[in-house]
Structure 1
Amino acid sequence: MGRWRRTRYAYAPKGSGEVLPVVGDGFPRGPAHLDSASQPDYHVPVPSVLESLSSVPLFANLTPRQLRKVARNASEDSYAAGSSIVTEGGRTETLFVVLEGTAKIVRNGRTIARRNPGDYFGEISMIDGRRRAASVVADTPMRCLVLYHDGLRKLVMDDPGMAWSLLLTLAGRVRES
């Protein structure tokens, strides 16, 4: 394992920024399912990821090169209707981009917002590492692109232009809320 790092759903060469084929059916069950030979292999096709990312307001101002870097650091997860994606008060450092399906944002048992394809959630906890302010529950079967704190942090540290673009978009979103 020396030159490989284990991510949540894939193995990738350390420092490469690549994501190799993911093992499993897309429903998160934790790292234990990585070793199962009975699971089919699949991967996130980069062209569809690039199309999805470029249509998301958070990434709309990135260059094609920057989008490719983000895509290489993302994985795809699927959720059944009714599944809890994140839990209020929980600690996770991930950003989710909705590719298909819809979700509701729930705080103190009340639905406060909805997320549709092209929307994203989890950006604040991904940045500051604090507990989730709300739960997110899949209304319908969903596919999400998932970006992890460490991968995105490395990207913005290596590319200040990307960091600035993301900050401007996030500032606009905070201002509108």
Structure 2
Amino acid sequence: MSDPTDNFIRRLPVMAGLDDEAVQFLQGLASEETHAAGSVIVREGAPGDRMYFVRSGRVRVMKAPAVQLAEFGPGDFFGEMSLVESVARSASVIALEPTRVCTLRGVDFYKLYRQRPEQYGIVMLNIARDLARRLRHIDDDFCHVKH
């Protein structure tokens, strides 16, 4: 990453509970990308091998042809489904403004699993909690539309 001293990984809610060694390990594996406003970061149907953490900017998750699923900003993540199941991307993600993201590949998490399985478990539990929160939100929205 561009500035390993900024502790971006440590500040991510999905990394809460990790010890210093695990945070430093993941920070060392992370890479950074910048995307212009309007650019496609992830394309629906493309193979996926990494998840993304928004450092700055905002992104919109879209399902073809034109269904908005979510918007994310700093500290949020997307692309986690490709780590859980090895299938094509289920939606596109578009930068709404100039956006910087940090990425971790599935193989990076596998390396954490091999070296520190208990720390890997913490990350996966945090991801599962966030996914449950997102699903609950979608359920609430769906119920309001039906009534």
**TM-score in terms of structure 1 length:** 0.71
**Structure 2: gaps of 5 or more residues:** 136-147
- 2:138 equivalent in structure 1: none
Is 2:41 the partner of 1:85? Answer: yes
- Contact 1:53/1:60, CA 8 A, preserved across alignment: no
CA distance, structure 1, for counterparts of residue 61 and residue 76 of structure 2: 12
Shift in Å, 1:103: 0.3
Residue identity in the other structure for 1:131: A
Residue identity in the other structure for 1:96: Y
1:141 to 92, 98, 107: 98
- Contact 1:103/1:137, CA 8 A, preserved across alignment: yes
Shift in Å, 1:72: 0.5
Moved over 6 A (4+): none
- Number of aligned residues: 133
- Contact 2:109/2:120, CA 8 A, preserved across alignment: no
CA RMSD of aligned residues (A): 1.2
Q: Secondary structure at the residue paired with 1:137?
A: strand
Larger helix fraction of residues = 2
Is 2:108 the partner of 1:151? Answer: yes
Shift in Å, 1:127: 3.0
Residue identity in the other structure for 1:70: L
CA distance, structure 2, for counterparts of residue 95 and residue 167 of structure 1: 13
Higher relative contact order (CA 8 A, sep 6+): 2
Q: Map Cα deviations across residues 57-94 of structure 1 (whole Å, 9 max, x no partner).
A: 11121111111000000111100000100011110211
Shift in Å, 1:111: 1.3
1:102-121 → structure 2 map (5 Å cutoff): 102-108=58-64, 109-121=66-78
**TM-score in terms of structure 2 length:** 0.85
Moved more, 67-76 or 107-116: 107-116
Identity of aligned residues (%): 28
CA distance, structure 1, for counterparts of residue 115 and residue 71 of structure 2: 33
Is 2:127 the partner of 1:170? Answer: yes
**Structure 1: gaps of 5 or more residues:** 1-42
- Contact 1:98/1:118, CA 8 A, preserved across alignment: yes
Residue identity in the other structure for 1:77: E
